[in-house]
Amino acid sequence: MVARHQKARRSGPRSPPRDTLAPMTERFSVTLLPAGWTFEASSDQPLLLAAQAAGIKLPSSCRNGTCRACLCFKPEGEITYRIEWPGVSFDEKREGWILPCCAYPRSAVTLDVPHASRSATRP
User: Which superfamily does 43-118 belong to?
Assistant: Beta-grasp domain (3.10.20.30)
pLDDT over 70 (residue 10): no
Of the pLDDT bands very low, low, confident and very high (cuts 50, 70, 90), residue 8 is: very low
DSSP 67-90: S-TT-EEEEE--EEESSSS-SS-H
Strands 72-76, 97-98: parallel, antiparallel or unpaired by DSSP? antiparallel
Comparing 23 with 16, the larger pLDDT belongs to 23
**Structural contact between residues 48 and 62, judged by C-beta atoms closer than 8 angstroms:** no
**Tens digits of per-residue pLDDT, 90-122?**
999 999 999 999 999 999 999 999 999 998 655
| CA 62 to chain centroid | 16
**Tens digits of per-residue pLDDT, 47-98?**
999 999 999 999 999 999 999 999 999 999 999 999 887 899 999 999 999 9
